[in-house]
Structure 1
Amino acid sequence: MPSPAIDDYLKTIYHHTEWQTDRITPSQLAAELGLAPSSVTEMVQKLAAQGLVSHRPYGPVSLTPEGEQRAAAIIRRHRLIETWLVREFGYSWDEVHDEAEVLEHAISDRLLEGIDDRLGRPRFDPHGDAIPDAAGTVHREAFVLLAAAPTGHAGRVLRVSDRDPELLRAVEAAGVEVGAEVTVTDAASLRIADLDVALPAGAAEAIWLSA
């Protein structure tokens, strides 16, 4: 049955391994959701009983195929709504997350399909995160976190994390956009269109480039 609480757990687990390979631990899950570890442990046990996650005591949590399919469906809703709000209503990329959190549980499948069609079936949201298609499939190219990219690495900005709205605004003010062609000059700056751009603190851990 639909459940916003379950969907939030599945989304968080899904999102954790999109841009790196380490599976999420219960303590990380509790921190991400802002919940007590005991509450998370109880819910993870319930999700495991429903066949949505795989988990052993004190070990990391991963989605089962059924859990991944359900997570991809709600992620699809969230990211299509974010894209819709930016393109159709003029929202900035730092404003859309909270609105999408509310709307993803409210709109019908019919409306979601209409939004997807109107937007031209986009593959990525405003932050560069992949939008799963109706079958739950995503298409991503090889990537590298800016903090791990060597000096001289050239590539496109694939994604900027939406975790911190203030950082998003600072990154945008610096002139960094998803899709921009950049060259890494050092850990704190990029070259964009022959200009050296200083990055705000924390940006290197929030920007992903094509590998």
Structure 2
Amino acid sequence: MFIFSNWFWFFLTLVFAGLWLGTLLCQRREKKKKTPPVSMGQNSIEAEDVLKVVYHLHEEKKDWDGRDLSVILGMSDNLIKSLIDVLIDFDWTEKDREGKYHLTEKGKQRGRELIRAHRLLEKYLVACKGMSLDEVHSEANRMEHEISSEELDKLDNELGYPAWDPHGQFIPEPDGLTTSLPKHSLVEAWKSGSRMRIVSLNDEYTALLAQLVAMGFEPGIDIDLVDRKQNILYLRIGDKIVPVAEAAANHIFVAPSPVLPIPLGQVPVGSRAQVTDVKGGGKHQRRMLDMGFVPGSEIFVMRKAPLGDPIEYWVKGTAVTLRQKEADTILVEELDV
């Protein structure tokens, strides 16, 4: 009886030890699945930097492959594959049956959060810290990984809910809504003798951005397109003629400059107009943009109330009613009916 009791406890101990060891191995296996490769570091900063590149690629193509990313980043196929694997480990990217990659909903959300943080921080650094346009990109790129969503909302409030960053890029709202401005590169929009307004500058290439800023290019200024010879564009900024290589001009985005804009509230019923600018800052400006009153969009004045207020407009396939006071914050150029 004593011998049987010893064997019983011995086998019972082995069973519990086996169960404990199996549980430990399963836990380690699950942890290994969820943990991103050590080559990306102990945090997600590098992965988030790649995610921003992929997010912009997604906006252009929806689906993409390793070759697309390789062209943008200039890296070898093996390194690109490792980067994509990291995005998959973070559940930001998935691969379809045709070998194309797509952003997951989680990846889209995090990408929008990073872009919103980056552009708000750029606005803060220029408006509150006095940094120049060519300095803020790298600093904002460092800070965007550290700021919390609560701190970002507070910063948005303190800045007055700006609609654009200093480079002319639209700042996404907390719910992810974005507004696209109709714009073309200076090379695409070239027409000698015309006047254009700079909408935005590409801020991805710091050295080029610094050169463009030093030459006088900034969002919001008007330029005259004078001449074009041997891949050189000659522009008038103020009273100066400035030569710009086509390669650099591809990073300057423009829209037609408005001619004697008038408040939308002054456009008569039955007329057509094109938005040139939206006045007023913060939430009002964002609300107007969300409803479709973005620079470049066409508007048809449908009807006015008996007393002239409110006014109904047709914009982007939707009927929108505005008070006279709201309509007067939208500057337009009348078009031929």
Q: Give the TM-score taking structure 2 as reference length.
A: 0.54
Structure number with the bigger relative contact order (C-alpha 8 A, sep ≥ 6) is: 1
Residue 247 of structure 2 corresponds to 202
What is the Cα-based RMSD across aligned positions, in Å? 3.0
Partner of 1:91: 131
Which of 145, 163, 172 is residue 132 of structure 1 equivalent to?
A: 172
Contact 2:62 2:102 in 1 (8 A): no
The answer as to 2:143 corresponding to 1:103 is yes
* Structure 1 residue 100: Cα displacement: 1.3
Local SS of the residue matching 2:235: strand
1:26 aligns with 2:66: yes
- 1:173 and 2:214 matched: yes
Letter in 2 for 1:171: L
Gaps of 5+ in 2: 1-33, 35-42, 257-337
Deviation, 1:88, is 0.7
How many Å separate the matches in 2 of 1:181 and 1:60? 42
Q: Which of 52, 60, 64 is the matching residue for 1:11?
A: 52
Cα distance in 2 for residues equivalent to 1:54 and 1:184: 45
Deviation at 1:76, TM superposition (A): 0.6
The aligned residue for residue 37 of structure 1 is: 77
Query: What is the aligned partner in structure 2 of residue 159 from structure 1?
Result: 200
1:189 is matched with 234
TM superposition shift of 1:21: 5.5
Find the counterpart in structure 1 of residue 27 from structure 2.
none
Distance 1:60 1:83, change over 3 A: farther
Deviations 1:140-181 (A, max 9, x none): 221111121232453321111112222222212221111112
Q: Which has the larger radius of gyration?
A: 2
Identity, % of aligned positions = 32
Identify the structure with the greater strand proportion: 2
1:88-110 C-alpha deviation (Å, 9 max, x unpaired) = 11111111122112211112222
2:218 is matched by which residue type in structure 1?
Answer: E
Letter in 2 for 1:118: E
Counterpart secondary structure, 1:130: coil
- Give the Cα–Cα distance (whole angstroms) in 2 for the partners of residues 45 and 121 of structure 1: 36
Distance (Å, rounded) in 2 between the aligned partners of 1:150 and 1:21: 26
- Residue ranges of structure 1 left out of the alignment (5+ in a row): none
Q: 2-side partners of 1:57 and 1:46: how far apart?
A: 19
- Matches of 2:197 and 2:222, distance apart in 1: 4
Decide whether the 8 Å contact of 2:164 with 2:171 is kept in 1: yes
8 Å CA contact 1:142, 1:210 repeated in 2 = yes
Give the length in aligned residue pairs. 210
Match of 2:120 in 1: 80
Q: CA deviation at 1:41?
A: 1.5
Q: CA, structure 1 residues 183+69, in 2 after alignment: closer, same or farther (shift >3 Å)?
A: farther
| Aligned partners of 2:58 and 2:103 also within 8 Å | no
Q: Deviation digits for residues 86-133 of structure 1, max 9, x if unmatched?
A: 111111111112211221111222221121111111122111222111
Q: In 2 relative to 1, CA 155–21 (structure 1 residues): closer, same or farther, beyond 3 Å?
A: farther
Q: Is the 8 A contact 2:170 2:178 kept in 1?
A: yes
The separation in 2 between residues aligned to 1:24 and 1:128, in whole angstroms, is 27
Matching residue's letter, 2:214: A
